[in-house]
Structure 1
């Protein structure tokens, strides 16, 4: 025996312009679309409804989902049907949500990246883009200065093909200088190695055209005064507070940390009595009236390097003959 057909109540509207079936039965059919545009709109609406329902499930915990009874959606979709989305349940108070938002807010107060306090090659980081922006105002330095580092293990008598200091940072303002200086070790905390602070465009090599006809003013210091002497020398150099005749002759300064002593160097284009007087005035408060300073021209350094290379070449040649 066949199941009886469901009863359908029909009402007439004399003012209607379109035919809209009145669906009240449980097994009634949905109205047919009148065009392909209606099909596309219906598909888009269903996708939005499914995506919203799936996202609401992620916000609902397992314990909460057990106690929630979702309202059953009608089987028949009416023409003027507006879908009802499931509510989103968040088990946190407003105070807890506000506290989370405060902890997760973006921190924009840092002016630049501060590298770790080390000079190992593997730890030297790229400078922050903020630090590469040209400085403006009264804090701008007269020249751009570059910080180089030469690690230990190369010795004093080094060849031209192995001598390659690493450029660590460029400094164009007083603020940038102190950022860099405060994040490198003090001389007494350094491992064996060399720091160079030179004008931009001049490499810390005697082969550089800016250094070729000049020399190095050298001072040997102990650990009890090297930290202050290094700061004094750097500030005198970047501040261009040398005597007027000396100011343009200073290409850079260097700090050499060795096992038994420390060396401070001033690289100049020419030797002068005014330079000796400036060094004496700078270091007398730290070292007293007695300290030694000697000048070594780059030509002498070049001759010594050539003689050392020739002697090593002869030794290697003699060793090959023995074998």
Structure 2
């Protein structure tokens, strides 16, 4: 009986997180192609999920994984994201880029569920990996673009924890949505 009790004990996370998958489908609109896969609220459930999904480097072109706090959708229009932005890392295609991508994605996920951003963890909404033809991107989304100190601290932690050697950039969601390109201010990059 003691063995059964041990198996049933799980280690809860402070927050519940939802994995979303964007399937590449030229028919239909973007939102209808975005599917919530499952939510996790324990360490064990996170690892069970992580060990049973494809690594980002194995996803087909046009796919996205998004992991967001349970009550936040991975879209600019969500009220939690509307005034925020994202830290952005890019990865080249090929074996070397795939290893860096997969390692960085795992580290970003561990930062999310482990609340590695200290007092700024409440600013973090989630993370996205976009698999595209030329390159793949990982972004960490924050709630408030104007909280520059919190965003800078989050960016430094991302860079340090992932070991990402290139500069990372921060961009406002509103600029990305309106122009489809970066609007990077001088404070918005970390070497």
Does residue 249 (structure 1) correspond to residue 118 (structure 2)? The answer is no
The within-5 A match list for 1:233-248 is 233-244=108-119, 246-248=120-122
1:210–1:287: structure 2 CA closer, same or farther, 3 Å change rule?
closer
Structure 2 gap segments, 5+ residues each? 92-96, 146-150, 181-191
1:162 aligns with 2:30: yes
Separation in structure 2 between the aligned mates of residue 191 and residue 168 of structure 1, nearest angstrom: 17
Write out per-residue CA displacement over residues 237-292 of structure 1, whole angstroms, 9 at most, x where no aligned residue: 10111132x21100001111122321101010124221121122112xx434xx12
**Residue of 186, 192, 204 corresponding to 2:74:** 204
* Change in 2 beyond 3 A, CA 1:228/1:170: same
Show the counterpart of 2:12: 140
- Name the residue aligned to 1:315: none
TM-score if structure 2 supplies the norm length? 0.77
Q: Which has the higher strand share?
A: 2
Aligned residues: 161
Q: Does 1:302 align with 2:174?
A: no
Over the aligned positions, Cα root-mean-square deviation in angstroms equals 2.1
Closer, same or farther: CA 181–248 of 1 in aligned 2, 3 Å: same
Deviation at 1:136, TM superposition (A): 6.2
Q: Deviations over 1:58-80 (max 9, x none)?
A: xxxxxxxxxxxxxxxxxxxxxxx
Relative CO higher for 1 or 2, CA cutoff 8 Å, sep ≥ 6?
A: 2
Where does residue 195 of structure 1 map in the other structure?
A: 65
Name the residue aligned to 1:173: 42
Q: Is the CA contact 1:255–1:262 (under 8 Å) kept in the aligned structure 2?
A: yes
Output the CA distance in 2 between the equivalents of 1:207 and 1:282.
29
SS of equivalent to 1:163: helix
Residues 171 and 177 in structure 1, CA contact (< 8 A), matched pair in contact too:
yes
Q: Deviations over 1:186-213 (max 9, x none)?
A: 1221112000000011101111111111
1:149 corresponds to 2:26: no
CA distance in 1, matches of 2:23, 2:100: 23
